[in-house]
């Protein structure tokens, strides 16, 4: 007990002094943890034996860096933004330049009320925030300087893909119903727990995946993605108007990544239409052996995920966006 208590007190001091990021979402945001479901999460899963965890399990959990630590063949945007999990090996979230507590789950939709789980162990967004508030908040949240914490939510990629294949779906109604749940069941509960700074990320150009580029009728198409993104902006604005003591930011990753695809040479990217196809980590060392160019030259890592390089250039744009919004909020309290 003494050892656990000492570890807990040490972590509490680190959290209080440092900035922290708390992330929720799907495979675009998930990081592999030593206590996570393999290839899906930082900690636990949705099965009854996996959903809860003890303080020591959380405090000893480590982010797994490297090729198989995310869904993009290297660090993802959450890791680039926080400086946490970069490079091979194991990384302690509490020791990072900005602590990263990542509860995103690969394959997650928003809620099983509207869409079936991909697997019986998949943790939907609303249950990710529930899991955090029930089991992580008492361990790290109560000792966190919440005035320096950013709650990031990037969701909708699986929702729009899964809904696109369902019959008799009125997409605009579905998008609104889904986003109602995002803000009512996840954003509001985090706000009620004392968190005041929120970042939302809209949908990437899923209408330009390698397979979509080969289709005359991609599904989802650009119109559907723009409709979701417009609905997200409207829901964010409506929520922010009711919570004038909160910061609610929306990063338009769709516009930025479309720009990257239109002008890839600016970012050292040479391939925006395909991907390497190999899941062997050795492809990083000798891509030519696998018939590939260096992975940093691909926009897509696989059929549905952007590459680590695309995540990196995204953060090169996201970081000044956050800095500018922080200055704007600080100077005039604008929304």
What CATH number is attached to the domain comprising 15? 3.40.50
**Average of pLDDT values for 100-120?**
98
Is the pLDDT at 333 greater than 80? The verdict is: no
335 vs 196: CA distance, rounded Å:
13
Q: What are phi and psi of 22, to 5 degrees?
A: -120, 120
Provide the pLDDT for residue 142: 84
Output the pLDDT for position 9.
34
Q: Give CA–CA dist 314/312, Å, rounded.
A: 5
Q: What is the pTM of this model?
A: 0.93
CA-CA-CA-CA torsion for 236, 188, 132, 307, nearest 10 degrees?
Answer: -10
234: in domain: yes
Domain range for 52 is: 7-259
Structural domain contains residue 46: yes
148 vs 184, more confident: 184
- Which tens digits make up the pLDDT trace of 214-272? 999 999 999 999 999 999 999 999 999 999 999 999 999 999 999 999 999 999 999 99
Whether residue 2 has pLDDT greater than 50: no
What average pLDDT does range 14-42 have in this prediction? 88
Judge whether 189 lies within some domain: yes
The count of structural domains within the chain is 1
Q: What is the pLDDT of residue 331?
A: 43
d(CA 190, CA 193): 5
283 part of a folded domain: no
39-51 pLDDT, tens digit each:
999 999 999 999 9
Read off the pLDDT of residues 172-213 as tens digits, 9 standing for 90 and up.
999 999 999 999 999 999 999 999 999 999 999 999 999 999
Other C-beta atoms closer than 10 Å to the C-beta of 271 total 17
Q: What's the rounded mean pLDDT across residues 131-152? A: 94
**SS3 assignment for 93-145:** HHHCCCEEEECCECCCCCCCCCCCCCCCCCCCHHHHHHHHHHHHCCCCHHHCC
What pLDDT sits at residue 18? 58
Q: Which tens digit of pLDDT belongs to each residue from 41-89? A: 999 999 999 999 999 999 999 999 999 999 999 999 999 999 999 999 9
- C-alpha span between 248 and 274 (Å, rounded): 35
Inside any domain, residue 206: yes
Q: Is the pLDDT of residue 7 over 70?
A: no
Mean pLDDT of 271-291: 96
CB 103 within 8 A of CB 32: no
Per-residue pLDDT, averaged over 121-147, amounts to: 95
Arithmetic mean of pLDDT over the chain: 92
pLDDT at 335 over 60: no
Percent of the chain topping pLDDT 70 = 93
- The answer as to whether 307 is a domain residue is no
d(CA 125, CA 103) in angstroms, rounded, equals: 9
Please check whether residue 182 lies inside any domain of the structure.
yes
Q: Quote the tokens at residue 304.
A: 């549905």
Is residue 330, in this structure, part of any structural domain at all?
A: no
Residue 90 reports pLDDT greater than 50: yes
């Amino acid at each position: 007990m003494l050892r656990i208590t000492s570890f807990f007190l040490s972590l509490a001091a680190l959290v209080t002094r440092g900035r922290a990021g708390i992330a929720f979402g799907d495979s675009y945001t998930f990081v592999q943890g030593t206590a996570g479901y393999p290839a899906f999460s930082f900690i636990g899963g949705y099965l009854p034996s996996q959903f809860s965890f003890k303080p020591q399990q959380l405090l000893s959990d480590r982010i797994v860096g490297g090729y198989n630590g995310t869904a993009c063949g290297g660090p993802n945007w959450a890791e680039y933004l926080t400086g946490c999990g970069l490079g091979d090996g194991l990384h302690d979230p509490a020791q990072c330049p900005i602590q990263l507590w990542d509860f995103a789950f690969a394959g997650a939709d928003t809620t099983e009320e509207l869409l079936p789980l991909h697997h019986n162990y998949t943790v939907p967004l609303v249950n990710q925030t529930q899991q955090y508030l029930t089991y992580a908040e008492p361990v790290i949240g109560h000792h966190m300087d919440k005035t320096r914490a950013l709650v990031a939510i990037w969701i909708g990629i699986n929702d729009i893909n899964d809904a696109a294949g369902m019959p008799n779906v009125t997409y605009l109604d579905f998008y609104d119903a889904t986003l109602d749940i995002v803000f009512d069941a996840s954003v509001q509960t985090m706000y009620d727990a004392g968190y005041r700074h929120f970042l939302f990320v809209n949908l990437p150009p899923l209408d330009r995946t390698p397979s979509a580029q080969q289709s005359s009728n991609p599904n989802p198409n650009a119109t559907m993605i723009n409709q979701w993104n417009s609905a997200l902006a409207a829901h964010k604005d409506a929520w922010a108007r009711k919570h004038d003591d909160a910061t609610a930011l929306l990063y338009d990753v769709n516009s930025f990544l479309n720009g990257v695809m239109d002008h890839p040479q600016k970012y050292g990217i040479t391939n925006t239409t395909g991907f390497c196809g190999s899941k062997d980590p050795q492809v990083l060392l000798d891509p030519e052996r696998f018939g590939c160019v260096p992975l940093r030259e691909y926009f897509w890592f696989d059929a549905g995920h952007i590459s680590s390089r695309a995540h990196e250039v995204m953060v090169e744009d996201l970081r000044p966006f956050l800095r500018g919004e922080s200055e704007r909020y600080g100077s005039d309290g604008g929304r």
